[in-house]
Amino acid sequence: MDWTAVDASHGGSRWSGTVQVCAGGWYRLEVRWRDGEGVLGTASVEPFGVGEVFVIAGQSYAAGCNDESIRVDDPAGRVVAYDAIQESWRAAHDPQPNVGSGGTIWPHMGNSLLPLVRVPIGLVNVAVGGTSSRQWMPGEPLFENLVAAGAEVRRFRAVLWQQGESDVIEKTGIDTYVRNLVTIREAATKKWGFEPPWLLAKSTLHPTVYNDPVHEGQIREAIDRLWRLPGFRPGPDTDILGGENRGEMQSRRHFSPIGQRRAGLLWFAAVWNELNRTD
């Protein structure tokens, strides 16, 4: 685009302004500061993009606890992950920032989504392994991390929630799980000042640790109920990924390499469906 005048304001040594940019990227931003006599200074930054941003929360299947470290396919690295410690974005190659040293399902989701959305994709992952829904309630450290992550990126498309195994272990009741998730969402959206949808996965199966069809079924029923409530949307049913998609019995492993890719594809389908909603 051509040079555009920006109505800038400043406080101390910081200047700020707003400019409209078409979705896409990567772009290079060049800034010139001038007065009536000429250019006083210049600066530039690259790359930056305008695209889709998702906040990811939940437990180990959403975090870096899976078998294979997967890389972003795009040569330009337009699937990126936010590093809250470094306060910067980087290509979303595994391991993801601050969620464990293993592989995740998210690079493959991004690899599948990028050719269709054709804009950069940002992932902000705050998942923590071994956590139940009660540990994400308002006032808990995990809730504060979730709120801070959303506030840091200001606006984002959706929360991607992959969690449930620890509630199976704790034998959380259906009504309790529903109440917990409603409370978490309502409190978080109040803090953020807007209401992004929450896509909830059915993630109750952990055959390398337990086999508990009764309590797995209770959390699945709770997710069914939540899907019908305002503010929640269907995520993938990753419980369909058994057998070769998981580690060996009693190994405490999570998704195998093929399971990671299939879970990533299931998340791609859920996100693509959300992006194409017309209601």
**Higher model confidence: residue 250 or residue 171?**
171
What residue ranges do the domains of the chain occupy?
9-48, 51-275
Place of tokens 């419980």: 239
How far is the C-alpha of 39 from the C-alpha of 32, rounded, in Å? 7
What is the model's pLDDT at position 26?
Answer: 95
Average pLDDT over residues 187-192: 98
Average pLDDT over residues 211-231: 98
**First-residue to last-residue Cα distance in the chain:** 33
Instruction: Check whether the bond before 26 is cis (ω within 30° of 0).
Output: yes
Q: Where are the beta strands (DSSP E) in 128-192?
A: 158-162
Where residue 7 falls among pLDDT bands split at 50, 70, 90? confident
Cα 57 from chain centre: 6
Count CB neighbours of 1 within 10 A.
8
Where residue 249 falls among pLDDT bands split at 50, 70, 90? low
Where residue 190 falls among pLDDT bands split at 50, 70, 90? very high
CB 60 within 8 A of CB 38: no
Average pLDDT over residues 125-137: 98
How far is the C-alpha of 111 from the C-alpha of 106, rounded, in Å? 9
Cα 29 from chain centre: 26
51-275: CATH number: 3.40.50.1110
Least confident window among 61-70, 102-111, 169-178, 244-253: 244-253
**Statement: residue 20 has pLDDT above 70:** yes
What is the model's pLDDT at position 235?
Answer: 98
What is the model's pLDDT at position 248?
Answer: 74
**Statement: residue 3 has pLDDT above 70:** yes
3-state secondary structure of 24: strand
Q: pLDDT digits over 39-92, tens only?
A: 888 999 899 999 999 999 999 999 999 889 999 999 999 999 999 889 899 999
**Statement: residue 252 has pLDDT above 80:** no
How far is the C-alpha of 42 from the C-alpha of 138, rounded, in Å? 45
Q: pLDDT digits over 141-172, tens only?
A: 999 999 999 999 999 999 999 999 999 999 99
**Statement: residue 33 has pLDDT above 90:** no
Average pLDDT over residues 174-190: 99
Q: What is the mean pLDDT of the chain?
A: 94
**Statement: residue 250 has pLDDT above 70:** no
Q: Rounded to two decimals, what is the model's pTM? A: 0.93
